[in-house]
């Protein structure tokens, strides 16, 4: 149950509600509920049965696969106003959740029970569009990942990752282990590649920190 003051805040974060008609908004207020999830908390584990879908108001969730050896690979992240479409998928096809989702940055979310979610998909155009859009985006990103891991070399992928991250935060705070989990590789491999990049003067590395100092060098690696 969502009251009017909450609704205001939620509306600001969820563009989809602004496009909704009054009927959907009323339904929303009735069944949705508010939740805070602290960083480090797992939202779903592989094989979980899903009974509600979360729309994120703030924070970031990482969705990843984990192998038997403990190696991880990130499938995608979602944040503001987005939702974990895998949840939706699991709900609609009555399957269990096929990956792990963890909160990276403290998240606030609106939860909608599976049953209502399913009804809304049938009843409201806006809602259906929203789900479609997400499903479609995720299929695209996951296919892109298949392409990456099947065909691109690790040094190229690492170079790409460093370039992308460096545009957000340059001496970036990240451990080798975290990078490995991002790429589906192992810490040792990432360490060796970073050492190589460092010797070539592409980056400067410190404990829990990487700084890109030659973007062009990395760029040419990422194209190789």
Partner DNA sequence: ATTTTGTCGGTGACAAAGTCACCAAGTTTC
Partner DNA sequence: GAAACTTGGTGACTTTGTCACCGACAAAAT
**Look-up: residue for tokens 């209502």?**
116
**Which lies closer to DNA via its Cβ, residue 4 or residue 70?**
70
Residue 195 binds DNA, judged by CB under 7 A = yes
Beta bridge partners of 109: 35, 56
Q: Which stretch binds DNA (CB under 7 A): 63-71, 83-91, 132-140, 214-222?
A: 63-71
Among 4, 5, 22, 69, binds DNA (CB under 7 A): 69
How far is Cα 189 from Cα 144, in angstroms, rounded to an integer? 22
To a second copy, the closest distance from the beta carbon of 64 in angstroms equals: 10
Binding-residue pattern over the window 120 to 159 for a second copy, x denoting contact by CB under 8 A: -xx--x--x---xx-xxxxxx-xxxxxx-xxxx-------
Among 14, 53, 73, 179, binds a second copy (CB under 8 A): 73
Residue 175 binds DNA, judged by CB under 7 A = yes
C-alpha pair distances (Å), 121 with each of 2, 19, 42, 88, 223: 20, 15, 26, 10, 41
Provide the 10 A C-beta neighbour count for residue 32.
23
**Residues forming the site for a second copy (CB under 8 A):** 65, 67-69, 71, 73, 75, 85-86, 89, 92-93, 95, 98-99, 121-122, 125, 128, 132-133, 135-140, 142-147, 149-152, 184
């Amino acid at each position: 149950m969502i009251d009017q003051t909450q609704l205001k805040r939620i509306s600001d974060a969820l563009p989809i509600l602004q496009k909704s008609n009054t009927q959907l908004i009323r339904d929303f207020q009735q069944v949705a509920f508010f939740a805070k999830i602290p960083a480090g908390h797992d939202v779903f584990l592989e094989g979980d049965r899903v009974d509600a879908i979360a729309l994120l108001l703030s924070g970031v969730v990482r969705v990843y696969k984990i192998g038997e050896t403990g190696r991880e690979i990130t499938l995608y992240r979602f944040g503001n106003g987005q939702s974990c479409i895998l949840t939706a998928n699991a709900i609609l096809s009555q399957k269990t959740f096929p990956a792990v989702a963890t909160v990276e940055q403290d998240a606030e979310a609106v939860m909608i029970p599976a049953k209502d979610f399913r009804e809304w998909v049938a009843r409201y155009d806006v809602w259906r569009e929203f789900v479609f859009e997400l499903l479609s985006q995720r299929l695209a990103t996951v296919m892109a990942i298949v392409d990456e891991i099947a065909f691109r070399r690790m040094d190229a992928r690492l170079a790409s990752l460093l370039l992308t991250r460096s545009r957000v935060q340059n001496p970036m705070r990240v451990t080798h282990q975290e990078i490995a989990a991002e790429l589906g590789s192992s810490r040792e491999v990432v360490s060796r590649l970073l050492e190589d990049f460092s010797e070539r003067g592409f980056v400067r590395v410190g404990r829990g920190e990487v700084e890109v100092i030659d973007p062009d060098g990395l760029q040419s690696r990422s194209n190789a």
